[in-house]
Structure 1
Amino acid sequence: MARRGRPVPTETLLDLVWGDDSLGLTPTAVHTAVARLRRQTEADLVRTTDLGYAISHDVECDADVFSELVADTNALDAALRVDRLRAALALWSGPSAYAGVSDRLVLAERARLDDLRDRAIAHLSGALLELGGAPEGREAHDLARALVNANPLDESAAALAMRAAYRSEGQAEALQIHEDLRRALRDELGVRPGAQVRDLHARVLAQDPSLEAAHQRSTPASPLTSLHPGRLVPIPPSPTIGRQDDVATVLDALASGRRLVTVTGPGGVGKSRLLAEVGAALAGSREVAHIALGGHAALPVDELAASVALAAGLPLVDDDPVAGLVAALRTSTVTILADEAEWVLESAAALASALLAGAPGVTIVVTSRAPLSVVGERIVVLEPLATADPRGPMEEIRAAAAVRLLVERLADRGDLSADVQEIADGELRVVAEVAHRLDGLPLALEIVAGAAAGGPLLDLPEVAAAALDVEVEDHGRDERHRSLREALTWGVGRLGPEARVVLRRLGVFAGPFTTAAAAAVVGEGAGQVDRAVRELARHNLLKVERAPTTLSFRMLRVVRDLARDELTVAGEVEATRQRHRRWFAGAWRDSALCDELVEHVGRTHDDHVEALTDALAHHDDVAAGDIALALCRRWQFVEASAVGTRWATRVLDRRGLTDRQRARLEICRAGFLQGADWDAAHHEELRDALEGDPEWSALLDLTGAITTYALGDVPGARRHLDLARTAAASLHSLLPEIIATRAVVDAAAGDVDAALAGAREAIARVGITRSAVHSVTVVPKVALALLDAGKPREALELLTTAAADTEARFGIRPTSTTAINAGWAALAIDDGVSALCWFRESLTGPQAATAAPTVAEAAMGAGSALAALGHVTAAEVLGLGRLLLAASQQELPPTLEALTARAEEAAGVLTSNPDWDVVLASNRVVQLLDNAVAPATPRRA
């Protein structure tokens, strides 16, 4: 079943099923087992082929049904969500998936399903709370408490349990849940509850009346900015000590006009933490994007540019990623925070130079063990924390930052008071001696605190007395401090044997991971992985990250390098990497597009790409196909068409894909190219390959509709959309987009009544609390249909409300499509000021349009708005718009052409220099709009 749709050789089955016991067996054992299976099931379930045994790809099991029921619930109201989630959970017959089956066969799939089950229980608890009844509230409480009991460190489950307890059991139990969580996080990980839980705790203490309100989602469809991980500035899990002056130095450099600041220092000195503090200080006053470069070792500059754009959710439509990133940021004032640039030093320097030259409003703060050596770079050297003579005055010891840090970390684990004034002089001198021996290097201090937790304080000097003298190359920098690598080796040496196995195998991760992912990738022979992960976090060998919906962990690059060395010595590289790529291949296999998929693939993008690259290198084509499909769904969401086209084409060249995977990837590539490049005969071949696959069959005809509509074949587009609607009849996530697309086609054909009916049905189906996916895929189409159907005011209201909602809930700025449609709607109701602001927004900021056809349309709209306002630059902007339309071989739809014709008649058209290229013309449009729109003008009316 795990390899449906492709034959499995007898020898492979022997190895997979019998493992080491297969050495004494012959293929007859497999034949006997298959014959027995055929007698117990349908005779044709298992087919014999020349290449081995096979099960058809359309054979379905309970795990498939469960995954489908859970994945397609976001668009439903609470009552329907409850019904579907109950039906999904009723398919389970035990506490874990595939009970009794060997880990060797099902470990990754078991981990995925168990994790998905926990999410289904959480969603069911939240939906029951929305219903608001007393029985529902008690059931929600029991479900949430069960999740917390199973995983006391799950902050999301604890928050849900607190809400349910407050409503059904009262304030006291809600507060007790918080206290249990606080203690568990402190004892197990040495961290404190995150901001969401702390805020909820304050509301419980204040007896906030909103906690009693029903009919509200207890957990938002997708937390703030989770869909673009680069816009989430990491929050240190514990207070930062002794770095206030260093933060101020970086901020002062930026305030003085420096556009590139590089924070240098040895490994473990706290550069990443300082960068997070700088980001927190900037976040309230300007847009900030955070990019971790530690997982990008040796990337060429073009791939690095693509990674930066994807992490920040920036559209990337240019075949040259560097030029595309510069274009996406050409009018932005974002501050990019780039961590651990030493691993891609030359590429980071080249990319920084390009951004500083082509995006004048962008500023960059980099951490690196070596400077980038870029013109205009301001270097800030981060020194270790100040220590004190252990035999010196007590006032100096208490004031030393290194002493205070070590005290704080020991206090986090309950070994010491956090107040240095309350610690006895003798004990504090012991702490000072350890801090002095470790030269105030923050990571070394944290490793000692973690490894020594629970032991007598007087043993600390012995704990820290390990020789830390091994010299290591530090990218040309003279190392004046003890070797961090030796400190790490010593810290690893204090781990138990199971934790050491887990540590080295976790070294294959490039980015953050959950305990479910860790269990799947670590595999057999490591005991309880979740317990080992907690031990590693206590020893500060893993850093705790609060992902939007769960607790995640990340390995610092210096730790990862040590772990990978140990993995190589143990001879486990190939097997561990295989489990890694199989985990990411299975994570979203056959899943419908949803916010959770977009968020997870974005957060783990580095690992998805690494797994895809590894699968291609090892000719694991089926795994490569599944990973590529998950990535393509993400790339479509963030408008990364150039990246998506390149990877989809590369994977499609592989011979080992299944027919279904190949058909899906062809649809994805057509989406990136904004139209299919196949004929009717191939369309039918794809339809045959997708038989029994309703979502992708519907997407196939949606692609066909868009292609034929672009060619002016409205009847053909309608036929495709009718087929798509039939295929997607039960798909709550996809059906609204199909209906909205049909409304656009109907409006263009002049069938106003059908267009209005379809537009309103689509909006009704996505509900009031829309998913992020629906906000991007459905709302702009509905607005366009309303606009073409003569309802511009309704279209503008929809777009304005949706833009504000998605920015508030998801941190998503309006896409260029949304902004342009809003501009046309405002123009159609003679609101030239709002129209001009919307068109300008489509061309500025990190969501700026960069493709020539889109810039051309925005220029025509902006020129029309300027003409309506009597502005002197209207004729020039209109002329530039005509030049860009001609260059991209595009025409405006009739409705929009009518609006621009009126403007051209009033203002005239200033013919642009025909020798100008697209980039020059686009830059001139933006320049003219920036001059025309006052900075204080509201972005939208």
Structure 2
Amino acid sequence: MLLARRGRAVPAEVLLDLVWGDDARRLTATTVHTVVARLRRHLGGDLVRTTDAGYLVPHDVATDADRFAGLVGSGADGSASRLREALDLWVGDTAYEGVRDDLVLAERTRLADLHRRARADLAAVLLDTAGEAEALEALALARTLLADDPLDEGAAVLAMRAAYRAHRQGAALEVHDTLRRTLRDELGVAPGRAVRELHARVLAHDPTLDGPPTGARDRDRDADPATTRPGATPEPPPVALHPGRLVPVPASPTVGRDDDVAVVLGALAEGRRLVTVTGPGGVGKTRLLADVGAALQPHGEVVHVALGAHAALPVDELAASVALATGVPLSGDDPVAGLVAALRTSTATVLADEAEWVLGSAAELTSTLLAGCPGLRVVITSRVPLSVVGERVVVLEPLPTPGPDASAAEVCASPAVRMLAERLADHGAGPTDPSAWGEADLRVLGEVARRVDGLPLALELVAGAGARTPLADLLDVARQPLDLAGAEHGRDDRHRSLRDALSWGVGRLGPGARVVLRRLGVFVGPFTTAAARAVVGPGDPGLDVERAVRELARHHLLRVERTSTTLSFRMLRVVRDLALDELAAAGEVDATRERHRRWFAGVWRDAPLSDDLVEHVGRTHDDHVEALVDALEHDDDVAAADIALALSRRWQFVEASTTGLRWTTRLLGRPGTTRVQRARLRVARAGFLQGADWDDAEHGRLRADLADDPEWSGLLGLVSAITAYVSGDPATARHHIEDALAATVRAPHLLPEVVAAAAVFDATEGDAAAAITGARDALARLGSPVSAVHLVSVVPKAALALLEAGHAREALDLLTSAARDADARFGIRPTNTTTLNAGWAALSVDDPTAALGWFRDSLTGTQTATAAPTVGEAALGAGATLAALGGSGAAELLGLGRLLLAEVGQELPPALEALVARAEEAVGVTAPPAGWDATLATGRVAALVRGAGAQPAR
């Protein structure tokens, strides 16, 4: 227990209760003192320290579990030796074997997932070689993963590839068929795209399956960080770094909603900028929103945000949440103003779901966005309208049902009956086409559809319950008092309670599944079975959480969500409300919420920044924030700091400085964080400030506090070096970059970024040869394909070094390729650093038209720069470009850029400064009016660049 709470003092009385449980009533604190004394004799006196607050194991005490996690985390470099070393550390079936679940369940689950990841990573590495022996070893590893989790599509992909590589096509097809049957029987869904495509390639004897893929191994990641999901094609599948850029895809076809989708699309085509889809809970508003998004995506940018997790948030916090979900960078103290500024030139369509849970704030934010962002459109779902000026309300009704005297043809044509038949067919309980049912069964389908009034969610609940019972038993639901809570929309009394329908569905569950359902109610977003195991916690002997989750999905009480190769689950809000009521009635709220926050505190503790972390924290962002708030409410400062640090890694990646500053500042004011956590939070906060704000004395203290923490020591050196560099102090920058280089000995994953930063300093100091060598060295260390994190953190620095060293064409080609890669593989626009550096490079090779497109790119769209340093640099670049083109506004842009950079005390690198100086000599500088601040200057820069008329360079 002390190891699990490293860095925190635990009173002897608390240890007594935690470790000895019910037996503690017969014991005293002397028992704890005796055991601690024994530990000190065996393991050394410094392992367990005595403080005024209790016993404490220092934060820097390392364990085999730490080494195991570190090796698996660094295994992404394709090193089989690292992964084998990690697997050799694993002893027994589970971590902490023999220790009670209630003491170590979250950590045990985290390590078990890392164990799965290590085996999957090793199998993927082995498949990067051409040997049959390696393919057989990979096949054996994949089969162990499938034995543990038969629904693991990523493991199935590995097994199919390995079997085919080992000349066992039949075995590859058998893996597919087994997975397909299991998915249908357990969840009522078909295999995902990656599995289906690989199956087709196996059948076609695709020759590319005979050897290792070109480039690095193909892989994807589940919603939980510990499971590798290799893709099915030689190139890696997209990674969802910005979940809001992915419109949800329903796991089954939509029935009977073509006309409703057409109404929404027609309203948008007519020029309506706000369309609100209303209707009772369970009528299918969320699914309709997804279908609208799918129709819009080929024609423009679409972003999606679920509002149901943000109940009762004030408008400023809602704005910050929307920005994070959709990958829109925020800066400044006002999230609403920042979001408007970031979207001011956007032509995206925002899809917002479940606004009824945050109605007032949603209405206020929507009204503000529509007023300040003339190209923006919003489609929103809500049980009640927003009552915003210009709102077009589309009322979604339940699916039409057949009348009591309907003919067989009319029953078959009924959308409600068609949907019921589709959902029963998903579970293998009958044909998809209603006309293929017998007349008697068809009458039962029509009666059931009519008795539940065609409500889609009720139809799904009935289908889930009826998949394993005689069809006639479905009529049992007709005897239930159903009320669809439609009175608020003026509907008649035939709409009865959806809650009772849900209660009917829950009542058909076994006792174990009901326990799991109520405890899963604490999740506000998607979760995997690993997260479910950790949060459900101990239960009755023999409680099988994975089986219960599948049962809940079968009964449509959980929604199945897909990535390219994997499954996760989400609870509908109406189901969640019922689950939370049952959780409260069982008296399990506090214990379950504690397990929830422990899981999210531990899942990325001490982990380096990676695509996996960025994606997982983004996908489960709402649960991370929920756990963070819960930890603070319970004064669990250590857990809160761990969660905030994981969130900070993502917030830095997506340029969410406003949110990051607010939370890191708040955590730094908490008394219960550890010394190391406070030092990490200071470094993270400096990143959000875009520069260190400490003096030499505090820097020395931070360096001492992080002496045993190579990851954050390296980041400390890096942020200190960059701060000195942009402030025009190359000597201090060089000093700090040497500290960062020293830290990479124990944190080698940081080396490419540190080498690239050092190359920039070399170029600034005039050592072009060293800069070119360093930049190319940094790029060579990235491997192929380059991760999203490296595209953001390393490639722009290497390109800037090349640009400063006189290799502008090479820099431009590198940045152009990176921008295309970011869009094609990750669905993200290039960062402002990438677009700015590309603009300077294009200007340096005498292509001002392309340069203006790049600078314009940084100031338009859904990732508009709003921070003063970025806007200032873009203004200077655009001004220099317009000077070369002979366009108007050049002198004014140069003056605005100088003002903005002067406000933050930043300077341009020498080569860029030379380009600006040449432009100033040619067209002069028009200073902005006296008294102008950064806000006025930023708005004017955007207007001038937008008016320049250039199209984006990409």
TM-score category by the smaller chain?
over 0.9
Structure 1 residue aligned with 2:838: 822
CA contact (8 A) 2:239 2:615 kept: no
Whichever residue aligns with residue 874 of structure 1, its letter is A
Write the deviation string for residues 544-573 of structure 1: whole angstroms up to 9, x where unpaired: 111356321111111111111111111111
Q: SS state of the match for residue 252, structure 2? A: coil
Q: Cα gap change, 1:87/1:220 in structure 2, threshold over 3 Å: closer, same or farther? A: same
Matches within 5 A, 1:382-393: 382-393=396-407
Whichever residue aligns with residue 587 of structure 1, its letter is V
CA contact (8 A) 1:746 1:754 kept: yes
Between stretches 163-172 and 343-352, larger displacement belongs to 163-172
2-side partners of 1:606 and 1:301: how far apart?
Answer: 16
CA contact (8 A) 2:342 2:865 kept: yes
CA contact (8 A) 1:739 1:761 kept: yes
2-side partners of 1:370 and 1:309: how far apart?
Answer: 24
Write the deviation string for residues 271-327 of structure 1: whole angstroms up to 9, x where unpaired: 000011111111122111111111111011111111111111111112111111111
Percent identity of paired positions between Structure 1 and Structure 2: 66
Q: Cα gap change, 1:721/1:224 in structure 2, threshold over 3 Å: closer, same or farther? A: same
Between stretches 892-901 and 659-668, larger displacement belongs to 892-901
1-side partners of 2:53 and 2:727: how far apart?
Answer: 44
Structure 2 residue aligned with 1:45: 47
Q: Cα gap change, 1:889/1:731 in structure 2, threshold over 3 Å: closer, same or farther? A: closer
Asked if 1:774 corresponds to 2:790, the answer is yes
Structure 2 residue aligned with 1:743: 759
Q: Give structure 2 stretches of 5+ with no counterpart.
A: 222-236
Matches within 5 A, 1:49-60: 49-60=51-62
**Displacement of 1:615 after TM fit?**
0.5
2-side partners of 1:776 and 1:435: how far apart?
Answer: 52
Whichever residue aligns with residue 99 of structure 1, its letter is E
Match of 2:690 among 674, 679, 704: 674
Match of 1:262 among 248, 267, 276: 276
Structure 2 residue aligned with 1:559: 575
**Displacement of 1:678 after TM fit?**
1.8
Match of 1:288 among 288, 293, 302: 302
Q: SS state of the match for residue 790, structure 1? A: coil
**Displacement of 1:388 after TM fit?**
0.2
Write the deviation string for residues 30-81 of structure 1: whole angstroms up to 9, x where unpaired: 223223333433344223333222222222111100110111233x2x3xx2
**Displacement of 1:706 after TM fit?**
2.2
Write the deviation string for residues 509-545 of structure 1: whole angstroms up to 9, x where unpaired: 1111111111111111151111111111111111111
CA contact (8 A) 2:195 2:565 kept: no
Whichever residue aligns with residue 693 of structure 2, its letter is D
2-side partners of 1:608 and 1:578: how far apart?
Answer: 13
1-side partners of 2:768 and 2:574: how far apart?
Answer: 62
Asked if 1:850 corresponds to 2:866, the answer is yes
Whichever residue aligns with residue 550 of structure 2, its letter is R
**Displacement of 1:863 after TM fit?**
1.9
Structure 1 residue aligned with 2:19: 17
Q: SS state of the match for residue 693, structure 2? A: coil
Structure 2 residue aligned with 1:377: 391
Between stretches 124-133 and 170-179, larger displacement belongs to 170-179
Match of 1:792 among 780, 804, 808: 808
Q: Cα gap change, 1:150/1:705 in structure 2, threshold over 3 Å: closer, same or farther? A: same
**Displacement of 1:879 after TM fit?**
4.0
Q: Cα gap change, 1:475/1:854 in structure 2, threshold over 3 Å: closer, same or farther? A: farther
CA contact (8 A) 1:266 1:369 kept: yes
CA contact (8 A) 1:448 1:464 kept: no
2-side partners of 1:437 and 1:246: how far apart?
Answer: 23
CA contact (8 A) 1:225 1:232 kept: no
Asked if 1:325 corresponds to 2:339, the answer is yes
Q: Cα gap change, 1:3/1:588 in structure 2, threshold over 3 Å: closer, same or farther? A: same
Q: Cα gap change, 1:85/1:437 in structure 2, threshold over 3 Å: closer, same or farther? A: same
Q: SS state of the match for residue 276, structure 2? A: strand
Asked if 1:456 corresponds to 2:470, the answer is yes
Matches within 5 A, 1:152-301: 152-216=150-214, 217-220=216-219, 223-301=237-315
Between stretches 290-299 and 782-791, larger displacement belongs to 782-791
Structure 1 residue aligned with 2:229: none
Asked if 1:810 corresponds to 2:826, the answer is yes
Write the deviation string for residues 343-397 of structure 1: whole angstroms up to 9, x where unpaired: 0111111111111111111111101001111111111110100100244211110
2-side partners of 1:298 and 1:793: how far apart?
Answer: 52
Write the deviation string for residues 624-680 of structure 1: whole angstroms up to 9, x where unpaired: 111111011111111111110110010111111111111111111111112222222
Q: SS state of the match for residue 781, structure 2? A: helix
2-side partners of 1:577 and 1:426: how far apart?
Answer: 49
CA contact (8 A) 2:604 2:646 kept: yes
**Displacement of 1:473 after TM fit?**
7.3
Whichever residue aligns with residue 846 of structure 1, its letter is T
1-side partners of 2:489 and 2:596: how far apart?
Answer: 30
Structure 1 residue aligned with 2:452: 438
2-side partners of 1:177 and 1:25: how far apart?
Answer: 55
Q: Cα gap change, 1:781/1:453 in structure 2, threshold over 3 Å: closer, same or farther? A: same
Q: SS state of the match for residue 406, structure 2? A: coil
**How many residue pairs align between the two structures?**
934
CA contact (8 A) 1:369 1:477 kept: no
Q: SS state of the match for residue 849, structure 1? A: coil
2-side partners of 1:887 and 1:68: how far apart?
Answer: 42
Match of 2:139 among 138, 141, 148: 141
Q: Cα gap change, 1:68/1:758 in structure 2, threshold over 3 Å: closer, same or farther? A: same
Write the deviation string for residues 684-720 of structure 1: whole angstroms up to 9, x where unpaired: 2222222221111111222222233334332222111
Between stretches 363-372 and 545-554, larger displacement belongs to 545-554
Write the deviation string for residues 6-53 of structure 1: whole angstroms up to 9, x where unpaired: 221111111111112212211122223223333433344223333222
2-side partners of 1:266 and 1:686: how far apart?
Answer: 55
CA contact (8 A) 1:391 1:429 kept: no
Structure 2 residue aligned with 1:124: 122
CA contact (8 A) 2:347 2:861 kept: yes
Between stretches 46-55 and 715-724, larger displacement belongs to 46-55
Structure 2 residue aligned with 1:3: 5
CA contact (8 A) 2:279 2:489 kept: no
Q: Give structure 1 stretches of 5+ with no counterpart.
A: none
Structure 1 residue aligned with 2:920: 904
Structure 2 residue aligned with 1:646: 662
RMSD over equivalenced CA pairs, Å: 1.9
2-side partners of 1:472 and 1:248: how far apart?
Answer: 24
**Displacement of 1:919 after TM fit?**
3.9
CA contact (8 A) 1:145 1:161 kept: yes
Matches within 5 A, 1:475-874: 481-526=495-540, 527-547=543-563, 550-874=566-890
CA contact (8 A) 2:483 2:499 kept: no
Q: Cα gap change, 1:721/1:884 in structure 2, threshold over 3 Å: closer, same or farther? A: closer
Structure 2 residue aligned with 1:32: 34
Whichever residue aligns with residue 686 of structure 1, its letter is L
1-side partners of 2:368 and 2:483: how far apart?
Answer: 40
Write the deviation string for residues 80-103 of structure 1: whole angstroms up to 9, x where unpaired: x21111111111112221122100
Q: SS state of the match for residue 364, structure 1? A: strand
1-side partners of 2:520 and 2:220: how far apart?
Answer: 30
Between stretches 403-412 and 223-232, larger displacement belongs to 223-232
2-side partners of 1:521 and 1:735: how far apart?
Answer: 36
Match of 2:434 among 390, 395, 420: 420
CA contact (8 A) 1:544 1:554 kept: yes
Whichever residue aligns with residue 553 of structure 2, its letter is A
Structure 1 residue aligned with 2:413: 399
Q: Cα gap change, 1:477/1:798 in structure 2, threshold over 3 Å: closer, same or farther? A: farther
CA contact (8 A) 1:824 1:896 kept: yes
CA contact (8 A) 2:192 2:565 kept: no
